[in-house]
Amino acid sequence: DTEVTQTPKHLVMGMTNKKSLKCEQHMGHRAMYWYKQKAKKPPELMFVYSYEKLSINESVPSRFSPECPNSSLLNLHLHALQPEDSALYLCASSQEVADLSYTFGSGTRLTVV
Amino acid sequence: RKEVEQDPGPFNVPEGATVAFNCTYSNSASQSFFWYRQDCRKEPKLLMSVYSSGNEDGRFTAQLNRASQYISLLIRDSKLSDSATYLCVVNGKNSGYALNFGKGTSLLVTP
């Protein structure tokens, strides 16, 4: 299995909702990442997990809460989002944090209404 | 100054043409360099790594000039399927090794 699987593929949520994005990989990768990509912009790093521990938080607002329950799973919990948070949320993994090769999931396209 | 800068294009070229993209990076401590390809509404996919000695993969050639902090990608004999956004990407210890993406250069290959 050489894939990163993200669910759901599409999500529409209200500003008062609580939802979660899920990312899963079974490649034995020990580094996992969340990126946010707005239309016509490059992906921007949000969080880095290394060996299930949060190693980088790029000053992301607390309405985004990451969680790494085990080495294969990475979640992003969403609460009280704003319409400007609408974007493509990409999960990626790599063998180690310093590894050169990332595998990206196909993303969750989030719309906040 | 942005850490990774690219000409956003778009580059419109006919099939069979040769096209070159350039990218500059600001952090001299950057250690690894890549070109990613992203199709519309899809995730980025690694096209090729970029090595100091230059490297080639079929119709694609990547070059790195560390002294000038400059990366290039050359595509020969363009195909319609090459139409995509090409993202210049660097990483290094200064960024916690996470990938740092340029804004991308849009390529449209026309019949």
Q: pLDDT tens, B46-73?
A: 999 998 888 999 999 999 999 999 999 9
Q: pLDDT tens, A57-85?
A: 888 999 999 999 999 999 999 999 999 99
pLDDT(B1) > 60: no
pLDDT(B100) > 90: no
Low-confidence ranges of chain A (pLDDT < 70): 1-2, 100
pLDDT for the residue A58:
85
Identify the residue among B43, B86, B103 best suited for mutation to test binding to A, counting A beta carbons within 10 A and taking the highest.
B43
Contact by Cβ (8 Å): A2, A105:
no
Identify the residue among A25, A30, A102 best suited for mutation to test binding to B, counting B beta carbons within 10 A and taking the highest.
A102
Interface contact A104-B102, CB threshold 8 A: no
Cα–Cα distance between A105 and A2 in angstroms, integer? 10
Mean pLDDT of B25-34: 88
pLDDT(B85) > 90: yes
Mean pLDDT of B80-93: 90
DSSP letters along B74-94, please?
EE-S--GGG-EEEEEEEE-GG
Q: Are strands B84-91 and B100-101 parallel, antiparallel or unpaired?
A: antiparallel
pLDDT for the residue A95:
92
